[in-house]
Every structure is written in structure tokens, then in C-alpha cells.
Amino acid sequence: MEGGPGLATLRWRFLRKLWPWFFLIGLLGLIRWSKGSGFADFYAVMKRPFWPGPAQREWVEKAVQLEQQVKLKLLEEDNQRLRKLLSLQNSSVDGIVSAPVISRYSKGWWQQLQLGQGSISGISVGDAVLGPGGLLGVIHSVTPTTARVRLLTAHASRIGVWVIQAKSHGVLVGMGTTRPQLNFLVKDPKVKPGDLVSTSPASTILPPNLPIGVIQTINNQALPAPTATVQLIAPSEAIDWVQVKKSS
Amino acid sequence: MIRRKGIFLVICSGLIVPLLTYVSPGWLAISGIAPSWGILWLMPWALEAGPWAGVIAGLCLALALDSLTIGLPSHLPSLVLLGFIWGRLGSRITPIQGSLNFGFIALLGTFLSGLIFWLQVSLYQKDAINSLVNAWSIHTILAETIMTALIAPIISTWLLAFFKTCRN
């Protein structure tokens, strides 16, 4: 049986030569269908060494920060003006005195700090004392060169506070332990462990919105209203310098 | 003249007590609770000088120590009572001797003082009445008692010898 290849063989050879082209057309079709994702990704990988450097990103971040600072300043000024209208305490950053802790009783029968700055520096009774993280206590008494701070954990400490997330008011009472107790004023305060406690925005004694601590446990069975245990943010045992926020 | 000098030295040693309360070193404490320096001073003085001298010294010391703290509990009831009890104990015919005896007397005295502090706090703070036997007060009483009793044999023995010298 002499003769050339059969018709089927010829067709097969022809298809074998053409299949890379079919493959290419199919691939391009897929790229077209995916709106050029393959191309775009390839381009991004190739362009990566030529992307805008960190310097440009920093410029943008700085610009955003500046914008936020300006916004904050404007809001703060607005807030001060409104608080003045309502005769509430101001929250300005002016009038802060740094003072060293010269003696401390943070455990035991009394919870207090003795500061190395007094009335000469403008500190007066009732001023708020801040540590890193939040409010530590309130000035109890002053001498010309020293001031005594009643810590929030002390027995007679009672300040008005506010739970930001639940928008619920309460009284923070020192129990002599490291964690003060928060007595709520309403039956259903809608708070949960982890909520942030700060000074009351309606306070006429302390500056508003100073962070104090985080709710640790809640006792819903307490009468007449629920109570909570608060873990303070500022650790009084390990602070050597504090900031006193002058009220006047 | 010698007597005046002795009294002056006793008063000076008493004035060191508030200072020691301020500068009490952190390492001389059990979980932040320092020994009671007032008791360490008052015990040898009352044992040496008698009940009324003990009461007056307790009163003066309590006023000085109360001026250092923010409020209740006060040192006054405990130091006056201990000054009287220790004064009576010192007036016995057989004098109290031996370091361990001082440690034991200081232990009982500090524990009694701690109970009086705890009673004051419980009566003053209505919230604390809910948990009369709360862990922090027991912890404070025990830590202060142990620290004071451990130091008393050293300091009070030395102070007693010092007061004897001052009075003679």
C-alpha cells in the first residue's frame, strides 16, 4: 500500500501547528473578559521599583496630620467657647505643672502621693493630677512647695465619671484597693467590660473627658443600681513625675 | 541640764518618725506596705517611761503622723491605747528583756493597731461594710504586722538602750 498520508493524519498535523495560536487567542480572550487584570498586575509588578518613594508618602501623611491638627485646634476652640457659655470646666492644655513624686502611699490604709511642687507653682486644692495614661487623683492639700494628692483608689475619693461608649454617668468611689468601684446612677447603664471610663463632660470640678480606666467587671445584682470594678490606666505605684492641671 | 538634754534627744528621735514614714525605703516593705515606724518608736519609750508618758508620746506621735496622711483612719486611738498598755507592761517588777520579746510585743501591738484602723475605715465608709472581712484590709494588717515585728528586735532594742541613757 503506497501513497501519502491519509486525510485524518493531515488534519491532525494542521491542528498541531495551529494549537498555539488557539491558545494565544483563548488567553487574550480571558484577559479581555477579566478587564485586563493580568496586564495590570504584570504592569504593577514591573513598575514597582519606580513607584513614588517614602518621601512622597511622608509628605502626604504630614499634610494629613497638619489638616487634622488644624481641625482639632478649631474644634477645641469651639469646645472651649461652648463650655464657657455653659459655665463648665475648661479642658485647655494650658496651665499644666509637672511635679515630681517625693513620697507615696499607694497601698495600705492611705492612698496618696506627695508632690514636690506647691502653691508657689500655682497648684491649688481640687486640681486634677495626671499620670501617663490618665487621671491619677485630685490635690487634697497644698503647702508652698509641696502638694498632697488623694489617689482615685483612696477611701474618701468620689468623682463624677462617664462611660463613653454607653453614654452613662456614674460615681467612681475609692475602696482602698487598687481598683475603684463605679456606682451607676441608672438601673440599666448598658455598659460592658472593656468600656472606657473618663471624667464627666458635665463636671464643674474636674476637667472633662480625661481618661481614667477601663471597666473590668460588672455587678448587675447590686442595689439600688449596678456597680462595676474599674481598672485604672495610670499606674500610681511606678510614677515618678506627674502633671497637675491647674483649674484657674 | 543633763535631763533637758535627754528630753531634747528623745523629742529629736521622735521627730525622725514622720521623716522615716516619708522616706521609708521600697525594699523594706511587703508588697508596698512599710513597717509602722510610730509603733517601733513608741514601744520602747512607753516600756521605759511608763503609762502616762506613753499616752502623751502616743498622742504627740499620732498628731504628727496624722498630719502626713489625707484623712481617716487616724493614728490617735491606736497609739494612745498602745502607749498606755505598753507603759503598764513596762511598769512591772520584772523588766521585759530579749529581742524576741520585743518582736512579739510589737507583733501583737501592730495587729491591734491594724484592727483599730480597719474598724475606723469600716465605720467611716459605708461601702466597705458590705465586705467587712475584705481581702485588702487583711492583707494590709498582716503585711504591716510582719514587717514591724521583724524590725522591732533590732530597732526597738537599740531605742530602749538610747532612752535609758537619755533618762539617766
Across A56-65, A212-221, A230-239, the highest mean pLDDT is recorded for: A212-221
pLDDT given at position A1: 47
Going by pLDDT thresholds of 50, 70 and 90, the confidence category of residue A50 is confident
pLDDT given at position A88: 60
Q: Please say if the pLDDT value at position B3 is more than 70.
A: no
Q: List pLDDT tens digits, range A161-202.
A: 888 777 788 888 887 777 888 888 877 778 888 888 888 877
| Most B CBs within 10 Å, among A105, A113, A236, to test the B interface | A105
Going by pLDDT thresholds of 50, 70 and 90, the confidence category of residue B127 is low
Query: Using a CB-CB distance cutoff of 8 angstroms, which residues of chain B are in contact with residue A105?
Result: 69
Q: Residues B43, B109: contact at Cβ < 8 Å?
A: yes
Q: In Å, how far are A138, A203, B133 from A97, measured between CA atoms? A: 14, 21, 40
| Residues in Cβ contact with B83 at an 8 Å cutoff, skipping those fewer than 6 apart | B42, B45, B46, B51, B53, B54, B55, B56, B57, B58, B59
Tell me the average pLDDT across A147-167.
Answer: 83
Give the distance, in angstroms, between the CA of residue B104 and the centroid of all CA atoms in the same chain.
13
| Residues in Cβ contact with A14 at an 8 Å cutoff, skipping those fewer than 6 apart | none
For A:172-201, CB contacts with B below 8 A are 173, 175-177, 181
Cα–Cα distance measured from residue A99 to residue A242, given in angstroms and rounded to the nearest whole number? 5
For A:124-153, CB contacts with B below 8 A are 140-141, 148, 150
Q: List pLDDT tens digits, range B23-69.
A: 777 777 777 788 888 888 888 888 888 888 888 888 888 888 888 88
SS3 breakdown of chain A: % helix, strand, coil, rounded to 5?
Answer: 30, 30, 40
From start to end of B2-110, where are the E strands?
none
CA-wise closest residue to A31 among A43, A22, A40: A40
Q: Residues A109, A176: contact at Cβ < 8 Å?
A: yes
Q: List pLDDT tens digits, range A7-43.
A: 788 888 888 888 888 888 888 888 777 777 777 777 7
Compute the nearest-CA separation of B128 from chain A (Å).
Answer: 7
Compute the nearest-CA separation of A174 from chain B (Å).
Answer: 10
Give the dihedral sign, CA A161/A166/A167/A168.
negative
Cα–Cα distance measured from residue A218 to residue B146, given in angstroms and rounded to the nearest whole number? 35
Q: Residues A157, A176: contact at Cβ < 8 Å?
A: no
- Domain A96-153+240-245 indexed as CATH 2.40.10.340: yes
Tell me the average pLDDT across A97-123.
Answer: 80
What is the dotted CATH code of the domain comprising B2-167? 1.10.1760
- Helix, strand, or coil (residue A115): strand
Query: Using a CB-CB distance cutoff of 8 angstroms, which residues of chain A are in contact with residue B69?
Result: 105, 109-110, 112
Please indicate whether, in this complex, the C-beta atoms of B69 and A110 are within 8 angstroms of each other.
yes
| Most B CBs within 10 Å, among A153, A155, A178, A229, to test the B interface | A155
Cα–Cα distance measured from residue A68 to residue A205, given in angstroms and rounded to the nearest whole number? 29
User: Could you count the other beta carbons within 10 Å of the beta carbon of residue A198?
Assistant: 18
Across chain A, mean pLDDT equals: 79
Please indicate whether, in this complex, the C-beta atoms of B34 and A154 are within 8 angstroms of each other.
no
Cell of B42: 513608741
Domain boundaries along the sequence of chain B: 2-167
| Most B CBs within 10 Å, among A104, A107, A149, to test the B interface | A107
What is the dotted CATH code of the domain comprising A158-237? 2.40.10.350
Cα–Cα distance measured from residue A25 to residue A31, given in angstroms and rounded to the nearest whole number? 10
Cα–Cα distance measured from residue A196 to residue A134, given in angstroms and rounded to the nearest whole number? 11
Please indicate whether, in this complex, the C-beta atoms of B144 and A108 are within 8 angstroms of each other.
yes
User: Is it true that A96-153+240-245 and A158-237 share their CATH fold?
Assistant: yes
Query: Using a CB-CB distance cutoff of 8 angstroms, which residues of chain A are in contact with residue B25?
Result: none
Report ipTM for this prediction: 0.70
Domain boundaries along the sequence of chain A: 9-49, 52-85, 96-153+240-245, 158-237
Cell of B147: 514587717
Helices (H) and strands (E) in chain A, counts: 3, 12
- Helix, strand, or coil (residue B29): coil
Q: Residues A155, A182: contact at Cβ < 8 Å?
A: no
Nearest 5 degrees, angle CA A86-CA A230-CA B131? 115
Q: Please say if the pLDDT value at position A160 is more than 60.
A: yes
Q: Please say if the pLDDT value at position A234 is more than 50.
A: yes
- Rounded to 10 degrees, the C-alpha dihedral A215/A218/A223/A225 comes to 50
Q: List pLDDT tens digits, range A52-61.
A: 666 766 777 7
For B:77-116, CB contacts with A below 8 A are none
